[in-house]
Structure 1
Amino acid sequence: MIIDHPLLGPRDSAEFTYFGAATLMDRPTPEDGPKAMHDYVYLRDNPVGLHRELWYHAQGDRSWLVVTRDTMTQVITHVELARDVATAKAGCRS
């Protein structure tokens, strides 16, 4: 599978480490309570179809990416730098 890195261009997925759903970027705060932290740590979806995922470029520039991938076909439809996604979310909250 080829991941089209936004800065480096097409790279083989073997250069990356998969970390799970991109929702992991939305870590609960202590004010959210223990149930929110429990769900964050232990509960995971196994979606069919388009899924946003976190990938780490371990054998490259060590960047974090949010990859939108179809879990049925393995086709990647969109790749973003995770820092850009996080910045955009922070901008929406203010």
Structure 2
Amino acid sequence: MPLKHALKRELEVAFSKHAQPVWFRIVKYMVIVTVLYFFWGSRWLWITFLILLGPAVALHLWYRHKTEGWTKSYGGWDYEKNKSRLKD
């Protein structure tokens, strides 16, 4: 798969309304806002974000691997709801 196509697919998945359940998006943004609230103006803000970035990227890559590039259903990912509109 060409890099340009892969990047477009990643963005399509990232901004899909069906990619993550609503409860997960709410919790995710609550965690981000909470971290910003408690660490704003502190040197710990960026350290905390970097620490949280590691597991987030690992989870993303795990799902990408298990779904074979977002082309198969796995766990909470339902391929039928998130089919690509990109031309192969």
TM-score clears 0.5: no
* TM-score (norm. length: structure 2): 0.28
Select the structure that is richer in helix: 2
Rg comparison, structure with higher value = 2
Question: Higher RCO, 1 or 2 (CA under 8 Å, sep at least 6)?
Answer: 2
* TM-score (norm. length: structure 1): 0.27
Select the structure that is richer in strand: 1
